[in-house]
Structure 1
């Protein structure tokens, strides 16, 4: 019996290089697809005639870019100044769309909204108030409960804004917030009202008070309990991707995109890097996409190797 066990263990170890090579190849293909998203989106924003699903995503992105442009131009306004013209909004929105980082972020948010909506329709996972968030709101720790309530309010605003195709400037991560301000500044250097408007916007900006910042702080406050965030049905989609991003050491946008049906390898490796076993990973796949295929032998890859593979992939995506 011992010999049989040893042979079985040796056979499993012998398969690991082949399994890892197959996963790497699939991850590279997935990365290649992700890297092609910004130019494809740029083309789609300028044209029409796409599929229904693509039209929905593009419409949300266009709406979010227009929302950002309108807020910037409104911030410039002072007493006696003319209202913002639709033509100005369109021109600035087009300028923002030329920035691949801004475009990719809006795409990730649109995907988050769409995936959360699908989960609600298919599995009744509430996009705003999940069981885990309810537990945190009821926490005996006052700071945790307060943080959870703030996250709940922010998530509610996000869902409403997605339905209206809006995006608040204050919800942008710090690097993108400053990128958007720079794009606006370059857009019309001749307008003397822009510089003071930018100064006011910077003074009122607080990254930690935005939805992404609140979710990041909330998941971090859970310490070892953060693994509960990887139970999609219990945590809800917003907390799930925030916990996944933290535990797999990835940008949250990539954690969102990993949940797309064509990014199964990234999702499996992310969950493995977070320490989940194959059976638990499979349950998350079933919740996200009943027909989704879990990469075979994912359990043969050590969490450290999964993390290293993702790290190399993230470097490629960042480049």
Structure 2
């Protein structure tokens, strides 16, 4: 009798596990349909390419690994590499749950691939560009020094992208604190708290590549739009110039350079008072076979700014 009861309990337990597995599998299949529909409907292969996805995964893992090395130090772990290795996959997944951080990492991956494509197709260097050369040769020692520092930061960024790395010290402040908070929430409480405190003490947002590029733009004579040309400024400074000139988020400008967001980029450029023919020329550089559509010139810069502001309000409310 007891044997039959044991068998019955075992069968019931198996059925419960089976139902659980089937439910999880069904949810996965259901969600994969949404993802597949998005990918099949999206012709922007560069923005969602395998290489972009690989870089996103690599950068998130690198961020997680740095956080865990700091936690391992706080825990006085003998083998910090093993400590991080055992936990980095889980923490990287938790970091990916933060939309702003994930979007930023996506923008960085896209930026580096666009730089590579511009170099291959149009021989536009990702580091040494006319704008930086002019600033580095300026009689103003402060501006020249800032240009050289920004040039070095840009060179490091491209090397880091090749290794799929993202140093914690290069994260914008909001995302740095988001990453550290994730460690505090999911790590070992005592050692994670010590690690978080140390990381925050060391962080200097003003030394990030973004901050250096922004300082350089603000230190230049004339309006940012005077240098609003990929041939003159290279992609990284181009998006920084446009972001500062229009008051946009830099990641928004980067992602507007994708094939599916050309109208948004045209609006941003026209809002900066760029002529329609010049806008078409920039689109050809980015996308290669872009049509010479100059209809954007029918809109005034003020109207474009209003349209972009309305679009931003709509996105923020959704």
TM-score bracket, shorter-length normalisation: 0.7 to 0.9
- Residue 210 of structure 1: CA displacement? 0.2
Output the CA distance in 2 between the equivalents of 1:63 and 1:318.
29
**Which of these residues, 76, 79, 82, is aligned with residue 79 of structure 2?**
82
TM-aligned CA distance change 1:124 to 1:194, over 3 Å: same
Output the CA distance in 1 between the equivalents of 2:136 and 2:272.
25
**Which of these residues, 272, 275, 288, is aligned with residue 274 of structure 1?**
272
Q: Residue in 1 aligned with 2:252?
A: 254
User: Is 1:298 matched with 2:296?
Assistant: yes
- Residue 191 of structure 1: CA displacement? 3.2
For 1:134-213, list aligned pairs within 5 A.
Answer: 134-188=133-187, 190-213=188-211
Q: How many residue pairs are counted as aligned between the two chains?
A: 273
User: Is 1:67 matched with 2:66?
Assistant: no
Output the CA distance in 2 between the equivalents of 1:251 and 1:62.
23
Provide structure 2 residue ranges, at least 5 long, that are not aligned to the other structure.
1-33, 40-44
- Residue 138 of structure 1: CA displacement? 0.7
Output the CA distance in 2 between the equivalents of 1:157 and 1:213.
15
Q: Residue in 2 aligned with 1:233?
A: 231
Q: Residue in 1 aligned with 2:51?
A: 56
CA contact (8 A) 1:264 1:293 kept: no
Q: Which runs of 4+ in 1 moved over 4 A?
A: none
TM-aligned CA distance change 1:295 to 1:266, over 3 Å: farther
Q: TM-score, normalised by structure 2?
A: 0.81
CA contact (8 A) 1:268 1:295 kept: no
TM-aligned CA distance change 1:226 to 1:131, over 3 Å: same
CA contact (8 A) 1:244 1:271 kept: yes
Higher relative contact order (CA 8 A, sep 6+): 1
The structure number with the bigger radius of gyration is 2
Of 273-282 and 220-229, deviating more is 220-229
Of 90-99 and 284-293, deviating more is 284-293
The Cα offsets for residues 151-171 of structure 1, whole Å up to 9 and x where unpaired, read as 111101100011100001111
Provide structure 1 residue ranges, at least 5 long, that are not aligned to the other structure.
1-38, 45-50
Q: Residue in 2 aligned with 1:102?
A: 101
For 1:3-18, list aligned pairs within 5 A.
Answer: none
